[in-house]
Amino acid sequence: MRDLAGEVKRRRTFAIISHPDAGKTTLTEKLLLYGGAIRQAGSVKARRAARHATSDWMEIEKQRGISVTSSAMVFDYEGYRVNILDTPGHQDFSEDTYRTLVAADGAVMLIDCARGVEAQTIKLFKVCRMRGIPIFTFVNKLDRAGKDPFDLISEIESVLGISVCPINWPIGTHGDFQGVYHRDTRQVELYRGGDHGQRKVDALLVAADGPELEAALAAGYVEKLREDIELLDIAGDAFDLDKLLAGELSPMFFGSAGNNFGVEPFLKRFLALTTPPQPRRADEGLIDPEDSRFSGFIFKIQANMNPAHRDRLAFLRICSGVFERNMTVWHSGGQKQLRLTQPQQFMAQEHEGVDTAFPGDIIGLFDPGLFRLGDTLSTGGQLRYEGIPLFAPEFFSRVSPLDSMKRKQFVKGIAQLSQEGAVQTFKRPGVGREELIVGVVGVLQLEVLEYRLKVEYGVELRREDLPYRYVRWVGEAPREVGKLRLTSTTVPALDRSGRDVLLFENEWSIRLVTENNEGLTLMETADRMEADEMME
Ligand SMILES: Nc1nc2c(ncn2[C@@H]2O[C@H](COP(=O)(O)OP(=O)(O)OP(=O)(O)O)[C@@H](O)[C@H]2O)c(=O)[nH]1
Ligand SMILES: [Mg+2]
């Protein structure tokens, strides 16, 4: 019998979130570097270098230097098994980020020291709050001149409404970063040299209270640090695990992911302060990770990660019990038993086979097209974890293949991307098979759609952008949708599962239609359905 309790205890599964460009992918890389999972880190926008960040594997991400999709990676560090989820910051891909947060037990929120709390960080922070997951703060890019750290604390507290507890403190914040002071050990960690973060950095540890500090650090810094320490000891919030777990307190760290400064001390303390997987809510109540029944859910589907194989992977977050290769599980989507062969774990695009996995782990399953987002897999009974809702898209385009001979590949590509959750498809009733409307949360997703159809399916897309900005699912309706009193710019359509929706150009129309049709309820999100009627 495997030591399930012991394996759960050493698991840490978390997502890195923030506004675009704060350094999530860079920090992910550096954590992998310290976990020994890579020997030399690639740089996201390395100038002449041929190496790219390990987690930004998609061609389009390499070209633009942004993340357009989340990625999951695993590494070991000092006895811990760490599953890390790098998420895209751009709001156009926030649907992916939201889904990924469902699979995480905690989040690390990155803040660019010069920019402070930015718009997208606020949104993502709120999602973490809603989900009740603990949030850690890493203030990044300390190698550059930034805001005063005390001002950053006030900004986080007032803008996000969360208390922060600095675990370490920066020395030199005007682009002259020297190192960090560790409040727990009262030691100063000073950094020297480095090779722009490709390899681990050398650090010198000195006691903050003794005479060695004066020898190692210029007098001005020593004096400033002593003042800061005094202020912190009076003003700062103390660490409190209950408050962290309740989402009321965020432990705060400072560093420079780009240079590896402060990365390892962050990792060490983060792993020690955060908790292993907790019980999760399913239809029959809370399921403990140590429950002997295996269970987990699918939160991400991604095709063509490796252009040479053209495979499709479903990402499973394990919630309870022991996963074993070739095990037979009940699949909530297909409503039947199925055997899980060839499970994989990830180092970005490289993956290796796994024989066993435990709660907190994220594994990839080869998917012949069986899985849908939100599906539960379990043994010992039919279990369902809470579904992952469909979010209302805000941009719509009518799409067709430029070359009508490519219709088959076109349908295949669109079906795939809609199952991944990247786009949603709609059709107007009675308009015929040729017309297809795709809806996305952000316009960059349309670019990704065009790009991926071309590269992965060999289809050039004809795209005609439509004026709609809102879609609402029809709940209760007083009469047939075709007979509702609509505004001249509102059109009825069907979603992928054949459910009635209305497409609106503005909020004003939504209001008017609601007023003119008593008893009509419109919904902003919908449950995911298993059926793909339109595409077949
Ligand atoms: N000066 C400095 N630059 C950094 C640091 N960390 C990351 N960067 C740079 O900031 C830019 C953005 O880094 P990424 O890691 O791609 O940021 P991201 O948060 O993953 O961005 P998205 O995924 O697109 O939201 C890159 O050019 C990095 O080289 C740092 O500590 N200091
Ligand atoms: Mg990124």
C-alpha 25 – ligand 1 centre gap (Å): 7
pLDDT average, residue stretch 427-433: 81
Q: Which of 44-58, 145-159, 444-458, 516-530 has the highest mean pLDDT?
A: 145-159
**Atom 2 in ligand 1: which residue has the minimum CA distance?**
141
Q: Report the pLDDT value the prediction gives residue 39, as an integer from 0 to 100.
A: 54
Ligand nearest to the CA of 177: 1
Ligand nearest to the CA of 257: 1
pLDDT average, residue stretch 411-431: 89
Give the model's confidence band at 203: pLDDT under 50 very low, under 70 low, under 90 confident, else very high.
confident
Cβ–Cβ < 8 Å for 440, 425: no
- Nearest atom within ligand 1 for CA of residue 90: 25
Give the model's confidence band at 434: pLDDT under 50 very low, under 70 low, under 90 confident, else very high.
confident
What does the alpha-carbon distance between residue 387 and residue 398 come to, in Å, rounded to a whole number? 29
CB of 21 within 6 A of ligand 1: the answer is yes
Residue 273 has pLDDT above 90, yes or no: yes
Residue 155 has pLDDT above 90, yes or no: yes
For the stretch 275-325, pLDDT in tens is 999 999 999 999 999 999 999 999 999 887 666 666 788 999 999 999 999
Q: Report the pLDDT value the prediction gives residue 164, as an integer from 0 to 100.
A: 95
Give the model's confidence band at 533: pLDDT under 50 very low, under 70 low, under 90 confident, else very high.
very low
- Nearest atom within ligand 1 for CA of residue 144: 1
Residue 498 has pLDDT above 70, yes or no: yes
C-alpha 273 – ligand 1 centre gap (Å): 25
pLDDT average, residue stretch 341-352: 71
Q: Which of 300-309, 335-344, 427-436 has the highest mean pLDDT?
A: 335-344
Q: Report the pLDDT value the prediction gives residue 60, as an integer from 0 to 100.
A: 67
Residue 530 has pLDDT above 70, yes or no: no
Q: Report the pLDDT value the prediction gives residue 399, as an integer from 0 to 100.
A: 95
CB atoms within 10 A of CB 255: 30
Residue 348 has pLDDT above 70, yes or no: no
Q: Report the pLDDT value the prediction gives residue 309, as an integer from 0 to 100.
A: 66
CB of 439 within 6 A of ligand 1: the answer is no
What does the alpha-carbon distance between residue 370 and residue 386 come to, in Å, rounded to a whole number? 19
Ligand nearest to the CA of 56: 2
Q: Report the pLDDT value the prediction gives residue 344, as an integer from 0 to 100.
A: 81
pTM score, whole prediction: 0.87
Cβ–Cβ < 8 Å for 23, 262: no
CB of 25 within 6 A of ligand 1: the answer is yes
What does the alpha-carbon distance between residue 163 and residue 180 come to, in Å, rounded to a whole number? 21
Q: Report the pLDDT value the prediction gives residue 442, as an integer from 0 to 100.
A: 86
C-alpha 70 – ligand 2 centre gap (Å): 8
User: Which has more pLDDT, 236 or 266?
Assistant: 266
Give the model's confidence band at 391: pLDDT under 50 very low, under 70 low, under 90 confident, else very high.
confident
Question: Residue holding tokens 């570097």?
Answer: 33
Q: Report the pLDDT value the prediction gives residue 196, as an integer from 0 to 100.
A: 64
User: Which has more pLDDT, 522 or 335?
Assistant: 522
Residue 63 has pLDDT above 80, yes or no: no
Longest dimension (CA), the chain: 84
Q: Report the pLDDT value the prediction gives residue 189, as an integer from 0 to 100.
A: 94
Sign for the CA dihedral angle at 316, 318, 323, 327 comes to negative
Pocket test for ligand 1, best of 17, 19, 21 (most atoms within 8 A of CB): 21
- Nearest atom within ligand 1 for CA of residue 61: 24
Cβ–Cβ < 8 Å for 206, 187: yes
pLDDT average, residue stretch 244-251: 93
C-alpha 180 – ligand 1 centre gap (Å): 20
CB of 22 within 6 A of ligand 1: the answer is yes
Give the model's confidence band at 350: pLDDT under 50 very low, under 70 low, under 90 confident, else very high.
low
CB of 70 within 6 A of ligand 1: the answer is no
Q: Report the pLDDT value the prediction gives residue 51, as an integer from 0 to 100.
A: 47
- List the domains of the chain with CATH numbers: 6-273 (3.40.50.300), 280-378 (3.40.50.300), 390-535 (3.30.70.3280)
What does the alpha-carbon distance between residue 348 and residue 444 come to, in Å, rounded to a whole number? 22
**Residue 53 carries which DSSP code?**
-
Work out the mean pLDDT of the chain and round it to a whole number.
88
Residue 474 has pLDDT above 90, yes or no: yes
What does the alpha-carbon distance between residue 454 and residue 272 come to, in Å, rounded to a whole number? 46
For the stretch 65-102, pLDDT in tens is 777 778 888 889 999 999 999 998 888 888 888 889 99
Q: Report the pLDDT value the prediction gives residue 345, as an integer from 0 to 100.
A: 80
Least confident range from 111-125, 190-204, 276-290: namely 190-204
pLDDT average, residue stretch 383-402: 89
CB of 121 within 6 A of ligand 1: the answer is no
Q: Report the pLDDT value the prediction gives residue 48, as an integer from 0 to 100.
A: 33
Q: Report the pLDDT value the prediction gives residue 171, as an integer from 0 to 100.
A: 96
What does the alpha-carbon distance between residue 316 and residue 15 come to, in Å, rounded to a whole number? 15
**Atom 23 in ligand 1: which residue has the minimum CA distance?**
67
